[in-house]
Structure 1
Amino acid sequence: PPSRILQNGGGKLEKPSLYLEGDVRPEIKDDIYDPSYKDPEGPKPKVEYVWRNIILMFLLHVGALYGITLVPSCKTYTLIWGYLYYMFSALGITAGA
């Protein structure tokens, strides 16, 4: 483990504890970050394309572009409904997190 004392010029300073003794479970105290650790190198995994997902994502984006072209022809109430739907969706996502 690294030293608990820092050197500052000629003086020495006590390094603050990384964790409080009573607040951390014993199994976590042994888990010390080691910057010199390197994962073993191995063969790179084979790249597999999932064509079904690629096609579906492409169609999703084409549909979004088509929807953007239809926005100018929308009625006012449709735009208001879309905005409110967007706001409640954002609220549901952030409030549910």
Structure 2
Amino acid sequence: MQTRVRRANLVDADAYISKHYNAVGGKCQSKVKGLVTIIHYNSSSKSKELAKNVHEELLKLHKDHNCKNFGVRKDTDISGFSLYVLRNTKMPAILTESKYVESIVK
């Protein structure tokens, strides 16, 4: 994570979007499917706007996949702490999770 953030900051990127695919609680569960976009708990208005716009587009892309909308959420609400990639980037930054791993094979 540190390398990614350092590179983004060095090139003076306009925005930082981190794409994640997760399992729930470290386990694969087929009942959980959803889309969430995460922002730093103290994010800038530009990060909030980026999150809103990206989240809306992801919802359109996943509309036919029985994907629950978890909305735009603060990192501390999701994980209980601030996320490194959102806390240390110097540009608007978001993290998206639009798919969950449903099996160990995937």
Larger relative contact order, structure 1 or 2 (CA cutoff 8 Å, min sep 6)? 2
Same-fold call, TM cutoff 0.5: no
Query: What's the TM-score once normalised by structure 2's chain length?
Result: 0.20
Greater strand fraction, Structure 1 or Structure 2: 2
Q: Which of these two proteins has the greater Rg computed from alpha carbons? A: 1
